[in-house]
């Protein structure tokens, strides 16, 4: 999707004119607690919106749903196995490292939401 135009996001606003110009089959949005107003506005414009948690990919149902939406349902299991394999390597390498010896990492999403703390879903492996 890197070659697609940026249409904004649920937090800082969407470019509805560009979205209409692109004439999408559907828009994938994050579910609550994400701002609901953009979803309602898109639906008012006649655009189908599907809310899928694309951040917490530990929930296999989210992965499977997203792959189905994208017409790649057979690849969902392949992706889940690949991801779990990578996470298993990380977990294995860190299992004997004391918490205080693990490096501190700052995860910053400058595009729209700011910084995330220890309990954020992407902070967990």
Sequence-distant (≥ 6) Cβ neighbours of residue 56 within 8 angstroms: 62, 121
Sequence-distant (≥ 6) Cβ neighbours of residue 91 within 8 angstroms: 125
What does the pLDDT read at residue 9? 80
Q: Each residue of 87-97: pLDDT tens digit?
A: 899 999 999 99
Please state, as a whole number, how many other Cβ atoms lie within 10 Å of the Cβ of residue 73.
13
- Parts of the chain with a pLDDT under 70: 1, 32-35, 57, 107-125
Q: How many residues does the chain have?
A: 125
Domain 8-99 has CATH 1.10.357.10: no
Q: Each residue of 8-17: pLDDT tens digit?
A: 887 778 899 9
What does the pLDDT read at residue 4? 82
Report yes or no on whether pTM surpasses 0.95.
Answer: no
Determine the Cα–Cα distance for residues 34 and 11; give it in Å rounded to an integer: 7
Determine the Cα–Cα distance for residues 82 and 62; give it in Å rounded to an integer: 16
Q: For the chain, what are the domain ranges? A: 8-99
What does the pLDDT read at residue 44? 94
What does the pLDDT read at residue 125? 45
Please answer whether residues 63 and 57 qualify as being in contact, where contact means their C-beta atoms are separated by less than 8 angstroms: yes
């Amino acid at each position: 999707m890197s070659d697609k135009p940026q249409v904004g996001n649920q937090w800082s606003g969407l470019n509805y004119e560009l979205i209409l110009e692109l004439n999408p089959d559907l828009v994938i949005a994050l579910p609550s607690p994400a701002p609901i107003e953009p979803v309602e506005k898109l639906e008012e414009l006649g655009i189908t919106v599907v809310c899928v948690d694309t951040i917490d990919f530990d929930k296999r149902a989210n992965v499977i749903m997203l792959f189905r939406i994208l017409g790649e349902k057979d690849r969902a299991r392949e992706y889940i196995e690949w991801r779990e394999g990578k996470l298993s390597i990380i977990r294995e390498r860190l299992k004997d490292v004391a918490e205080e010896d693990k490096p501190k990492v700052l995860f910053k999403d400058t595009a729209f939401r700011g910084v995330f703390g220890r309990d954020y879903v992407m902070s967990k492996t």
